Amino acid sequence: MNFQPINIDSKFALFSEQWSPKVIAKVNDYLVKIGKLQGDFVWHKHEETDELFIVNKGILRVDFREGPVFLTKGQLLVVPKGVEHKTQADQECELIMFEPEKTLNTGNITCDITVEKLEWI
Q: How far is CA 50 from CA 6, 38, 77, in A?
A: 24, 22, 10
Q: What is the pTM for the complete model shown?
A: 0.85
In this prediction, residues 13-40 reach a mean pLDDT of 93
Q: How confident is the model at residue 100, as a pLDDT?
A: 81
Quote the pLDDT of residue 57.
Answer: 98
**pLDDT tens readout for residues 105-116:** 555 556 565 556
Residue 9 burial (CB count, 10 A): 10
Is residue 86 very low, low, confident or very high in pLDDT (cuts 50, 70, 90)?
A: very high
Is pLDDT at 62 greater than 80 in this prediction? Answer: yes
Mean pLDDT over each residue of the chain, to the nearest integer: 88
Q: Hey, what amino acid is at 32? A: V
- 8-113: which CATH topology? Jelly Rolls (2.60.120)
- State residue 112's pLDDT score: 63
Residue ranges per structural domain of the chain: 8-113
Rounded Cα–Cα distance for residues 21 and 42 (Å): 15
d(CA 89, CA 99): 21
